[in-house]
Amino acid sequence: DSGVTQTPKHLITATGQRVTLRCSPRSGDLSVYWYQQSLDQGLQFLIQYYNGEERAKGNILERFSAQQFPDLHSELNLSSLELGDSALYFCASSVLFGTIYFGEGSWLTVV
Amino acid sequence: ILNVEQSPQSLHVQEGDSTNFTCSFPSSNFYALHWYRWETAKSPEALFVMTLNGDEKKKGRISATLNTKEGYSYLYIKGSQPEDSATYLCAFQGRDDKIIFGKGTRLHILP
């Protein structure tokens, strides 16, 4: 158990819908990262937050947004969902410049 | 665009044999190089984090080396065992704290 909690574990939704994925980092970790793992792709970096502020941005679509709250949990919002958004979404946390620890991931299926 | 390349993509190794694989990364803006082990149906688990040129790390039968000047790292597994079957990911961490993963080397140990 890495100490990073992600919910929900599995989610099936229809095209055009909006979903929110939630992540609670390890105790004491201020950095939260979001990654997308889809078929035949590596872990694609989406976005990073540090202590409530956006720190780095990767290949995150405009339809996606994220935030980190004062209690340090983070949410990834995915809207106007398309079939191609079906993927495993990982959250990871760390202290600044430290090893990152992954949650178990949220499986999103868009039908 | 930051590229982290891993080779080979896939590798089959006889049980008991030793093996190694490569991670190539940009030599500029370097802060750290991470190695992770990712078993099917689990989340990636940290093996090593290396920051200094010439660093060598070891954990049991697994070791890693780092060359930041030429931008590569090797992961070695000595005396492969069935439990070593997994995908091995490397990740480049820049001075901006962004962590970018390679696509991984999928290792299969043959009994």
Q: pLDDT-based confidence at B27, cuts 50/70/90? A: confident
% pLDDT > 70, chain B? 99
pLDDT value of position A98: 81
Residues of chain A that touch chain B, judged by Cβ-Cβ distance less than 8 Å: 2, 31, 33, 35, 41-43, 45, 48, 50, 55-56, 58, 90, 96-105
pLDDT-derived band at B35 (thresholds 50, 70, 90) equals very high
Question: Which residue out of A38, A100, A107 would a mutagenesis test of the B interface target, given it has the greatest number of B Cβ atoms within 10 Å?
Answer: A100
**pLDDT recorded at residue A96:** 76
pLDDT at position B1 over 70 = no
Summary mean pLDDT of chain B: 94
State the pLDDT at residue A42: 84
Residue B77 banded pLDDT, cuts 50, 70, 90: very high
Interface list for chain B against chain A, based on CB atoms closer than 8 Å: 31-32, 34, 42-46, 49, 89, 93, 96-104
Segment B27-40 mean pLDDT: 93
pLDDT band at A66 (very low <50, low <70, confident <90, very high): very high
- Which of A36, A99, A101 to probe by mutation at the B interface, max B CB count within 10 Å? A99
Whether the per-residue pLDDT at A59 is higher than 90: the answer is no
CA distance A26 to A33: 12
More confident residue, A38 or B80: B80
The C-alpha angle A77, A52, B42, rounded to 5 degrees, equals 55
Q: How far is B104 from chain A (nearest CA, A)?
A: 7
Question: Residue A26: which pLDDT band, with cuts at 50, 70 and 90?
Answer: very high
CA distance A62 to A80: 10
Structure confidence at residue A41 (pLDDT): 78
- As to burial, measured by CB atoms within 10 angstroms (0-12 exposed, 13-18 middle, 19+ buried), residue A65 is middle
Q: Decide if A2 and B97 are in contact by the 8 Å CB cutoff.
A: no
CA of B43 vs chain A CAs: smallest distance (Å): 5
Average pLDDT value for chain A: 94
Residue A67 scores a pLDDT above 80: yes
State the pLDDT at residue B11. 95
Per-residue tokens: B84? 């070593």
Residue A12 has pLDDT above 90, yes or no: yes
Burial of A96 (C-beta count, 10 Å sphere; 0-12/13-18/19+): exposed
Verify whether the Cβ–Cβ distance A97 to B97 is below 8 Å.
yes
Task: Tell me the shortest Cα–Cα distance from B31 to chain A, in angstroms.
Answer: 8
Work out the pLDDT band at B96, boundaries 50, 70, 90: confident
Which phi and psi angles does A70 have, rounded to 5°? -55, -30
- Please report which confidence band the pLDDT of residue A99 belongs to, taking 50, 70 and 90 as the band edges: confident
**Contact criterion met (CB below 8 Å) for A32 and A93:** yes
Cα distances (Å, whole numbers) of residue B62 to A28, A88, B50, B65: 29, 28, 14, 11
Contact: A48, B98; criterion CB under 8 Å: yes
* Pairwise CB contact (< 8 Å): B101 & A45: yes
What are the residues facing A56 on neighbouring strands? A48
Report H helices in chain B. none
Bridge partners (DSSP) of residue B38 are B87
CB nearest to B43's CB, from A33, A97, A105: A105
A31: nearest CA partner in chain B: B97
